[in-house]
Amino acid sequence: GEQPWNYRCPGCSRLTCSLPCVQAHKRRTACSGKRPRTVPVALAQFDGNQLLSDYNLLEETSQVRESAHRLLDGFGCGFEGRHGAQLLPWLSFLGKAAERRGVRLAVQT
């Protein structure tokens, strides 16, 4: 509050004047300083920076997905069928056993 603010925290919109103030803010509030990437933005506030951020999020998601495919292919677990990855034999057995008992089991691979 001693100097005019120059910066706005992307994570919580707190106004700060310098790097020491930003660091103190992060320590006091446990703020990451990063804008939540999945929070909806009003159309009136949507600009080129928001578009670029959304594009980068989608690109990163695609890269993670491709990495997961390569990793699972290395273990001999290919991606097959419309439900995503082919289950390991013991997970498939568990799913069938749950189904016989009338339990809906959701397995994320």
CA 86 to chain centroid, in Å, comes to 24
% pLDDT > 90, the chain: 7
On average, the pLDDT of the chain sits at 80
- Strand, coil or helix: 8: strand
- Strand, coil or helix: 57: helix
pLDDT of residue 34: 84
- pLDDT of 85 higher than 60: no
Q: What is the pLDDT of residues 49-81, one digit of tens each?
A: 888 888 988 999 999 888 888 877 766 655 554
**What average pLDDT does range 10-36 have in this prediction?**
88
